[in-house]
Amino acid sequence: MQLPSFDRRLALEITSVLIVKCTLLWLAWFAWFSHPAAKDMNMPPQLVRQQILGAPASGPALRTPGETSR
């Protein structure tokens, strides 16, 4: 079954817009997120894991500046 001219044009336009959008998103990722801003910007994986998942149950809890222990 062949699509009418309007449907074919619409499908081509949607496909073109999606290709352009994906290309722009990839370029933005490559420009801003693919590598650190500074070459010496490395953090130990354990510290990153601790910050994302929270303090480990066996270790001391991290406090924000100005917070007192209870």
45 located within any domain? yes
| DSSP annotation string for 24-36 | HHHHHHHHHTSS-
13 located within any domain? yes
Condensed to tens digits (0 to 9), the pLDDT of residues 8-61 reads: 999 999 999 999 999 999 999 998 888 776 777 777 888 888 888 886 655 555
If one counts the domains in the chain, the total is: 1
* Rounded-to-5 percentages of helix, strand, coil across the chain: 55, 0, 45
Q: How many helices and strands, by DSSP H and E, does the chain display?
A: 2, 0
Domain housing 11: 5-53
64 located within any domain? no
Cβ–Cβ under 8 Å, residues 61 and 55: yes
Q: Model's pTM, two decimal places? A: 0.48
61 located within any domain? no
